[in-house]
Structure 1
Amino acid sequence: MRSRMRAALTSALLLCAAPAAAQDLAERLEAMGGGPCELSSLTCVTIEVPRDPKANDPGGTLPVTFAVHPASGDSRGTLVFVIGGPGGSGLAVADDYIAAYDEDLIAQMDIIFFDQRGIGPETGLVCPEAQGAYDIADVPLARPETAISVTKRYVSDCISELEHADLLTLVDTERAITDLEAFRQAIGGPKLWVYGESYGTQFAQQYATVYPEAVQGVILDGVVDLTLSFRGYYAAYAEASERILARVLAACDTDPACAADMGAPAAEVYDRLAARLAAAPEAVDFPLGSGGTAPRQLTKAILEGNAFYALYSPNARMTFLRALAAAGRGEYLPMLRLGYSNLYLDSETGEGIADPTWYGAAYFAVTCLDYAEEGDPEAAARAILDDAAAFTSGRRLQRAYFAERLVCAYWPARGKAERPAPFAGGDYPTLILNADTDPITPVTMSYSVMDNVKNGYLVVMQGGPHVIWGRGLACPDRIVADLLLDGTLPAAETQLCAQDFTDPFVPLAGRRPGDPLAVARDVETELDWYPELYNWDYADRLRLGCDFGGTITADAGDTDTAYAFADCGLWPGMTISGTGLRTEAGEGADGLVLDLTVTGLHSGSIRYASGHDTEAWSASGTWDGVAFETPRPLP
């Protein structure tokens, strides 16, 4: 029976994927007023949708914008990306996503991104100032009145900051799926491959349930189990996150480089720091790009936030361990810089800044409508805190379990507590993707969905990140491409693959000040790992303060980035001046060249070059009055 069903499903997929003329879609988009997108290279079309599609009187319309990349030739189908969040902007990330996927997929499929209601420039719900203040504030379980006060202040300040507060009751997923269906009908009603990542899996399941005739297939990546209650969802991911964090800390102990920098078992270092910050924030003099320092605080909220975001990927896990190792030595700036990066705070001001890819208030606006806490706000808040005090006792990541639920208790637009039936799938295939080390959509949720879905296939990446497709790995990228382009179903109902749980540890820099080659390579390391630099948008000049005084300035060209070091103290007892040029033209000469003058504990001049493709490096100059060249190592 299984083989006959599989053959029938494959045949149906191939029939549904019969080639269509790309020109038809392009002509439709032009007729609908399509034009170049502001945030990507795709074609954008804005349609007007009913303001409230659930009401007898919709009360006017709302604009919803879709970005389309038509197939370059005959199309093999239409693929819709539903971005995570809720709050992520599909339009803002479209180019990056397009670049990450199989070239054949991009050439042979019509691809659609969109900003759902409440997201994007036209209807976006965002309150960066309130969000920034809340994200670094402690919400202490041990002091319920303080936790409630901080949360109520955030909700009040956020609502006051919103431009479109009138939409707060209208942005739930149940309404948003009707907007996608309206666009599908407007472009001729093609059957859709619906790919949802993270929250997008929630959207995809609801869309496919309401509009099964519109669906050619569903791909769920980082899966939400819609049957879970609000508490049940947070309990599931809090349990998973706690286990993954313990594994991250243990991984450091078995890595000689990480263990050496940590100086003690990583769990002990973390727990000591958390206890100290729970007692009182750590005062930090933060170096400014404009010169001087500003008084800042490293809070327990920042530590917990960094630890939680570290769980999302192998690279993030290693990055957090580097910051933790520095903090264990009393060097708090790396942890604070990482927190500003994770929370999208301006390191110069310490305040929240708008992120064109993320609409933070939409996160709560959608979540608090899609889920609900029972009772009036005050009763709900007290119940959440009482439950959290019991559930999180002895856990490291307490805030992750209760803080968002507490916000929803006081959010002005709250939904219903009832949960839907399990997603059943349909006559189309449902491909379920998850990592077993996903903190926010734990793999247990994918198992629950798989156990109830018809024509389901499951791929689990061991050690992987949150959301696993499009990271350049054969599993699952090849499996997904074969399904979309050829209608080839996965080889088995359940398949496993694996990747390294953490990236190779990059030792803390500046530990060998007497070696000029080590100094130059450590400067390169800092350029790679300063959060302000790797999160820079390359649009405007960036100037940041070095940890021990001085500045680094970065200017971006078309294919290169120029750096200027002005008395930059990357490490104690040594200042660096000079220039650097990183070339990234996609050619053999790509790499970094540094011309540096060093003073302090040691002094000299260094000319250093490293090749991106060759992964080779060289150095020459003078050091403490003696000429040096690239050394000749011995066994």
Structure 2
Amino acid sequence: MRVRGRARAGAALAGAALLVTAALSGCDSAPAPPQSSKGPSPRASEKPAGNTSALGRPLEWRRCGAPEGGTAPGSAWRCATLDVPLDHAEPGGETIGIALIRRAATKRSERLGSMLFDFGGPGGSGVDILPRAASAYGRLNTRYDLVGFDPRGVAASSGVRCRGDEEQEKAYREVDMTPETPAEEAAFIADGRDFAAGCVRLSGRLLPHVGTTNAARDMDAIRRALGDEKLSYFGISYGTELGGTYAHLFPESVGRFVLDAVVDPTADTVGHARNQATGFQRALENYLKSRGEAPAAGTRRVAALLGRIDGHPLPTSSGRELNESLAVLGIVAPLYSRSSWPALTAALDEAGNRGRGDRLLRLADSYNNRDGQGHYGTQSHSQRAISCADAKARPTAAEARALLPGFRRLSPVFGPFLAWDTAGWCAGWPVEGEHDTPEASAQGAAPILVVGTTGDPATPYEGARRMADELGEGVGILLTNEGEGHGAYGRSRCVTSLVDAYFLRGKVPADGHVCS
């Protein structure tokens, strides 16, 4: 169960992009002179979009990606593939293709340049998400070309694959993600190692090269290929970590940057799990209070339900059973957005009062990218590969077991799952992680708007404060959204208005501004 910054299209379509896990650089660029307090200067509106790849080959843009899905004559969307080095340390070696999608600014005479998006994950496909989410960014599209991409190791950019649908189904059905016996613990760790072995077998050559630092270098290649002097960027959830890494590596190339639903750059593997136990418990308590239920009593009720399901999985109309692991994911999913809280109420009522698991299972399937025919998406494969390429920590089962009492105190519902996740996620991973925590210092960069929501479950608000501090004085500009859910843009009128003014007019809000 990895829920750190994982991308999800539903939240993007609601205007706030996306869900759940975050992965956890060195600076090779000299800092630029300090920027004016009036904000970054826009790119020249007459500068055309570039069409040359980082390796000197032309980008070939073609019609694609109608918002309804698929390709349609007259679609405003164009797709291309950017060739970049598989290993940036060997620029003349093997290449990898980065899939791009673009919709041109609608007011060409007022065009500021391109705006690159990353909707989270790691593992979210920008090529897939952006056309379906674009209506939320209509004002920005008046003056910016909207550009999405699949980061390396994701979807159309040589997406990592690790196991098939049957193996995935078997794991969700048989592996207890909160093992309580030696046999369950052995099966849990063995499944992590089996997943890693599948990644090696199916995608081994990619695994050393899919980390966040390499994706940030690809972003700079995208900037150059698009013909922009500075990069304008909208990063959500894990996309904030990617944006912070880019700002550290290329501070002189930072244009107008917004980081929304911010991953804590100071947290290591255990710290992220602890943050999320806090964040999801906070969101659960806010949900319970909205229903007039005392948070402590409501938490005990939900934890007791999960305990019953652990011993006796619930039947569903599909013939599949709802076990405890899937039930937790079914509770996690609707906590990302307050608009989904009624679905959580219905699902908990069905499970607790009727002894049926249909609704929670549907929520878990949506979270796991499982369709009605039993096919799973590969986002979780990419997510694990990127996370484990980034994070050095490889906690053991004994270390996870030692975390349990403290995590249970943080959250009786989510704590055990997140404690065990620290050991299972990168078990047996063949590639050493790059760092304990990512570097986000970006002195000399233009002001970067850092947006944190007080009720965010997956990337708790405290991470936004720490990101703003890590970016540096005068660079990280904190904007607080007092509200619920993962991401603020499109959900809060105040935040949306301030972000639009920043992107369109270069108007930087006062550091510490609060939208209530």
Is TM > 0.5 for Structure 1 vs Structure 2? Answer: yes
Partner Cα distance (1:49, 1:427) in 2: 25
What is the total number of aligned residue pairs between the two structures? 462
2:81 equivalent to 1:62: no
Partner Cα distance (2:285, 2:334) in 1: 12
SS of the residue aligned with 1:111? strand
Deviations, residues 76-129 of structure 1 (Å, cap 9, x unaligned): 23211122000000000111221112x332121122211111012351113452
2:213 equivalent to 1:174: yes
Aligned in 2, Cα 1:60/1:28: closer, same or farther, shift over 3 Å? closer
SS of the residue aligned with 1:166? coil
2:339 equivalent to 1:315: yes
2:363 equivalent to 1:342: no
2:268 equivalent to 1:229: yes
User: Corresponding residue for 2:502?
Assistant: 483
How far off is 1:182 after superposition?
A: 1.7
Partner Cα distance (1:431, 1:111) in 2: 19
Native 8 Å contact 2:34 2:444 kept in 1: no
Deviations, residues 250-284 of structure 1 (Å, cap 9, x unaligned): 322359xxx9xxxx9644542331121232323x1
Deviations, residues 101-158 of structure 1 (Å, cap 9, x unaligned): 2x33212112221111101235111345244443453223422542342342254256
Aligned in 2, Cα 1:66/1:461: closer, same or farther, shift over 3 Å? same
**TM-score w.r.t. length of structure 1:** 0.67
Partner Cα distance (1:432, 1:221) in 2: 6
State which of 282, 294, 298 in structure 1 corresponds to 2:322.
298
User: Corresponding residue for 2:467?
Assistant: 449
User: Corresponding residue for 2:8?
Assistant: none
Aligned in 2, Cα 1:420/1:59: closer, same or farther, shift over 3 Å? same
Deviations, residues 16-66 of structure 1 (Å, cap 9, x unaligned): 344224xx2176699521112355752112122111113x47641111112
Tell me which amino acid in the other structure corresponds to 2:397: A
Partner Cα distance (1:252, 1:401) in 2: 28
Partner Cα distance (2:310, 2:480) in 1: 37
How far off is 1:339 after superposition?
A: 2.5
Tell me which amino acid in the other structure corresponds to 1:443: Y
SS of the residue aligned with 1:459? strand
Partner Cα distance (1:462, 1:89) in 2: 29
Tell me which amino acid in the other structure corresponds to 1:309: A
Partner Cα distance (2:438, 2:359) in 1: 44
Listed as ranges, the matches of 1:534-549 within 5 Å are: none
User: Corresponding residue for 1:464?
Assistant: 484
User: Corresponding residue for 1:371?
Assistant: 391
- In structure 2, stretches of 5+ residues that fail to align are 1-32
User: Corresponding residue for 2:281?
Assistant: 242
2:191 equivalent to 1:153: yes
Aligned in 2, Cα 1:230/1:133: closer, same or farther, shift over 3 Å? same
- Max Rg structure: 1
Native 8 Å contact 2:269 2:422 kept in 1: no
User: Corresponding residue for 2:317?
Assistant: 286
User: Corresponding residue for 2:401?
Assistant: 385
Question: Which structure exhibits the higher relative contact order, with contacts defined as CA atoms closer than 8 Å and separated by 6 or more residues?
Answer: 2
More strand by share: 1
Tell me which amino acid in the other structure corresponds to 2:101: A
Aligned in 2, Cα 1:303/1:58: closer, same or farther, shift over 3 Å? farther
How far off is 1:224 after superposition?
A: 1.3
Identity, % of aligned positions:
25
Listed as ranges, the matches of 1:31-430 within 5 Å are: 31-38=58-65, 41=75, 42-54=77-89, 56=90, 59-72=93-106, 73-74=108-109, 75-101=111-137, 103-126=138-161, 127=163, 129=165, 130-136=167-173, 137-157=175-195, 159-160=197-198, 163-253=202-292, 266-282=298-314, 284-287=315-318, 294=319, 296-332=320-356, 333-347=358-372, 351=374, 353-355=375-377, 359-374=379-394, 380-392=396-408, 395-397=412-414, 398-403=416-421, 405-424=423-442, 426-430=444-448
Tell me which amino acid in the other structure corresponds to 1:149: A
Tell me which amino acid in the other structure corresponds to 2:177: V
Partner Cα distance (2:364, 2:271) in 1: 28
How far off is 1:386 after superposition?
A: 2.6
Native 8 Å contact 1:69 1:111 kept in 2: yes
Native 8 Å contact 2:193 2:427 kept in 1: no
SS of the residue aligned with 1:334? helix
Partner Cα distance (1:431, 1:172) in 2: 24
Partner Cα distance (2:262, 2:169) in 1: 28
Partner Cα distance (1:169, 1:421) in 2: 19
- CA-atom RMSD, angstroms? 3.0
How far off is 1:241 after superposition?
A: 1.5
User: Corresponding residue for 2:28?
Assistant: none
Listed as ranges, the matches of 1:5-44 within 5 Å are: 8-10=36-38, 13=40, 15-21=41-47, 24-25=48-49, 31-38=58-65, 41=75, 42-44=77-79
Partner Cα distance (1:417, 1:19) in 2: 39
Deviations, residues 415-451 of structure 1 (Å, cap 9, x unaligned): 0444344534534111111211111111011111223
Tell me which amino acid in the other structure corresponds to 1:451: D
Aligned in 2, Cα 1:321/1:44: closer, same or farther, shift over 3 Å? same
Partner Cα distance (2:91, 2:115) in 1: 32
Partner Cα distance (2:35, 2:420) in 1: 47
Native 8 Å contact 2:248 2:439 kept in 1: no
Partner Cα distance (1:98, 1:285) in 2: 36
Partner Cα distance (1:372, 1:213) in 2: 28
Native 8 Å contact 1:25 1:187 kept in 2: yes
Aligned in 2, Cα 1:165/1:466: closer, same or farther, shift over 3 Å? same
- In structure 1, stretches of 5+ residues that fail to align are 288-293, 499-635
Native 8 Å contact 1:144 1:385 kept in 2: no
Native 8 Å contact 1:86 1:367 kept in 2: yes
Tell me which amino acid in the other structure corresponds to 2:79: C
Native 8 Å contact 1:432 1:457 kept in 2: yes
How far off is 1:321 after superposition?
A: 1.5
Tell me which amino acid in the other structure corresponds to 2:45: P
SS of the residue aligned with 2:455? coil
Partner Cα distance (1:7, 1:49) in 2: 30
SS of the residue aligned with 2:399? helix
User: Corresponding residue for 2:12?
Assistant: none
Native 8 Å contact 1:131 1:158 kept in 2: no
Partner Cα distance (1:422, 1:344) in 2: 31
**TM-score w.r.t. length of structure 2:** 0.81
Partner Cα distance (2:430, 2:242) in 1: 22
